[in-house]
Structure 1
Amino acid sequence: MPQHASNRPVCRDCDGFPIVAITTGTRLPDGTRATLRVACPACHGTGHTTPAGLLARTGR
């Protein structure tokens, strides 16, 4: 079945993949690698951006 797409535009910086896991290279005592979870700074981890029409306009 087709998936329903969101009406909100996808973040252009992360292409909809807002949180990534980065390996640090060090190993933990059980042999697994230590990872860091990092969120996209542009969309703050949501994967979507606010359309330009919804932004508050100031000035003339």
Structure 2
Amino acid sequence: MKKFLKRLFCKHEFKTLYNIHGDMINRCNGHRRMNKCIKCGKEKLGGGLEPNCKRVNG
């Protein structure tokens, strides 16, 4: 419950975890990167590729 409330009231600052390539794009409904909030840990799919990120498909 505490984790849920923390995520609910967090002012998210997302950082790119990895870029998504290949068949994984279809599984993620066309999104091209995975982001994670540095404050609460919430994960979110993002739009385009992050050019500075070197990790691919987690």
**Quick check: TM above 0.5?**
no
TM-score computed with the length of structure 1 as normaliser: 0.27
TM-score computed with the length of structure 2 as normaliser: 0.28
